[in-house]
């Protein structure tokens, strides 16, 4: 049996989670997921400004100080903290180990997910497709691409583990693949054992969002979740290639039951019978959950199918400019005043710019920003007007930015909360999801040592 502990669900997650997982009980693997579509966009812009950046600095800050304890306890760390620059992340981690006078630390770097140059060398290749029918075609975005990363399988991480790495730092691999890798490594799962790969993928999907599988963000009886201030992130005790128990450290807070696990299982899955990853497809309708004790849920019965012939690519391209700002309005008639102010802002801007905006969003936060026309709130005491607009013309966005402040004395009464200076236009880095042949992607693994 191996214990796989989740310690991060995204870049910016709770900084105390890694230390609590390491210090509150036995674990064999500490796995941290940092990446999302927007994360890679931010990191690619960072690397463009500084070739030594472009990775999750939180990993260095939160896990780096734990290096002596991790080695002493024999814990293996797996993280996609490398972002768009895994080698720089590994070097920063090794530098911190050197400062702590730690020797013999083996850090594996997984590269090969960056396919920007590959795609730029292609024309309208029929082997390159958009992930969904409403995506732009590759030809429409090719010349504007600034970054492109393929989702790797768990294979390179398994290779790094076989090479004896204490820490594995990757770029863009599938989220559940981070957790599937130690299961494949420890239990010798065959490449075509689809049921076992699907089982490990389901375990990974449960763990990949961190505390969301142990009571955080719980939609059910959220008030019943104990001790959230010391939330215990989930741990999978994997007994074999078809049975795992989802639990947490007993001394920590949180809640693990079937309802919590089911909320996570239906998160971001699309067709539940065809949950597709680079390693396999998993049929989520075959999952069997069982109560195995307090804060302990068993996972069995998972069936799977073959891996896809093409890999998903997260691509990014520049698509103009945007600007957004906000200002608050109090009772009476808070919503009416906010909506009138938003429309006034739009009309004044268009008088100066003409029709140079591609998209507007005007919303009253506190009344209908989240639920739109389905909102049940009709007369709140206060709302915040939020206006955002997008244009290919930076100057048009500058005009809109200048029109926010005048609302205070030239618009509806009661405007307040406008602080922090005039909004600034920012580049729009749009997302393109594509598909490319698997054989085009060549992962690379290198083990560095302190």
**Chain segment 81-132, per-residue pLDDT in tens:** 999 999 999 999 999 999 999 999 999 999 999 999 999 998 778 899 999 8
Predicted pLDDT of residue 420: 79
- DSSP secondary structure string for all residues of 198-212: HHHHHHHHHHTTGGG
Looking at residue 49, what is its pLDDT?
A: 95
Q: Supply the pLDDT for residue 125.
A: 84
**Cβ atoms of 292 and 299 closer than 8 Å:** no
SS3 118: helix
Q: What is the pLDDT of residue 124?
A: 75
Nearest to 171 by CA among 314, 15, 6: 314
Provide the token pair at 343: 């429309």
φ, ψ at 259 (rounded to 5°):
-65, -45
C-alpha 282/C-alpha 305 separation (Å) is 6
Helix, coil or strand: residue 196: helix
Per-residue pLDDT, 372:
83
Which residues of the chain carry a pLDDT beneath 70?
Answer: 377
Q: Give the residue from 18, 5, 32, 77 showing the smallest Cα distance to 245.
A: 5
Kindly state the DSSP code that residue 392 receives in the 8-state scheme. Answer: S
Q: What is the DSSP string of 405-447?
A: TTHHHHSSTT-B---SSS---EEEEEEEEEEEEGGG---EEEE
Cα angle 243, 245, 247 (rounded to 5 degrees) comes to: 165
Alpha helix locations (H) across 101-193? 116-120, 138-141, 155-162, 175-187
> Rounded CA gap, 208 and 216, in Å?
13
Q: Which residues of 367-384 are buried (b: 16+ CB within 10 A; e: fewer)?
A: bbeeeeeeeeeeebebbb
Structural domains of the chain, ranges and CATH numbers in brackets? 2-113+151-308 (no CATH), 318-431 (3.30.70)
Peptide bond into 332 cis (omega under 30): yes
CA dist 397 and 387 (Å) reads 12
Residue 107, pLDDT score: 98
Give the residue carrying structure tokens 């698509």: 319
Contacts of residue 103, defined as CB under 8 A and 6 or more positions apart, other chains included, come to 450
Return phi, psi of residue 432, to 5°.
-125, 125
Which residue is listed with tokens 């579509």? 37
């Amino acid at each position: 049996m191996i214990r796989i502990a989740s310690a991060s669900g995204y870049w910016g997650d709770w900084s105390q989670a890694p230390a609590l997982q390491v210090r509150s009980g036995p674990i064999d693997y500490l796995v941290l997921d940092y990446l999302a579509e927007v994360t890679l966009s931010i990191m690619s812009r960072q690397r463009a400004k500084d070739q030594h950046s472009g990775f999750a600095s939180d990993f260095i800050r939160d896990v780096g100080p734990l290096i002596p304890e991790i080695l002493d306890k024999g814990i293996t760390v797996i993280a996609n903290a490398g972002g768009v620059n895994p080698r720089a992340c590994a070097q920063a981690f090794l530098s911190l180990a050197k400062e702590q006078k730690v020797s013999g630390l083996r850090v594996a770097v997984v590269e090969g997910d960056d396919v920007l140059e590959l795609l730029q060398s292609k024309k309208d290749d029929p082997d390159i497709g958009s992930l969904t029918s409403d995506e732009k075609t590759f030809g429409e975005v090719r010349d504007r691409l600034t970054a492109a990363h393929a989702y790797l399988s768990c294979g390179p991480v398994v290779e790094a583990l076989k090479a004896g790495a204490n820490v594995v730092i990757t770029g863009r691999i599938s989220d559940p693949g981070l957790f599937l890798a130690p299961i494949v490594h420890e239990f010798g799962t065959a490449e075509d054992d689809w049921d076992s790969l699907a089982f490990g993928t389901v375990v990974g999907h449960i763990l990949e969002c961190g505390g969301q599988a142990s009571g955080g963000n719980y939609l059910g009886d959220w008030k019943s979740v104990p001790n959230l201030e010391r939330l215990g992130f989930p741990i999978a005790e994997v007994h074999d290639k078809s049975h795992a128990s989802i639990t947490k450290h007993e001394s920590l807070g949180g809640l693990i039951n079937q309802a919590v696990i089911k909320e996570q299982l239906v998160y971001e899955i699309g067709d539940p019978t065809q949950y597709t990853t680079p390693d396999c497809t998993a049929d989520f309708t075959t999952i069997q959950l069982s109560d195995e004790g307090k804060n302990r849920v068993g996972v069995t019965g998972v069936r799977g199918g073959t891996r896809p012939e093409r890999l998903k690519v997260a691509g990014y391209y520049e698509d103009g400019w945007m600007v957004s700002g906000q200002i608050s309005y109090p009772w009476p008639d808070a919503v009416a005043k906010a909506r009138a102010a938003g429309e006034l802002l739009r009309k004044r801007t268009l008088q100066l710019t003409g029709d140079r905006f591609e998209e507007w969003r005007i919303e009253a936060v506190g009344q209908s920003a989240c639920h739109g026309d389905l909102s049940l709130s009709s007369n709140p005491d206060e709302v915040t007007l939020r206006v955002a607009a997008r244009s290919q013309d930076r100057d048009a966005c500058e005009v809109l930015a200048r029109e926010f402040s005048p609302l205070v004395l030239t618009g509806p009464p009661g405007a307040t909360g406008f602080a922090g200076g005039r909004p600034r236009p920012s580049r729009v880095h749009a997302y393109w999801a594509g598909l490319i042949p698997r054989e085009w992607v060549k992962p690379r693994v290198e083990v560095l040592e302190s």
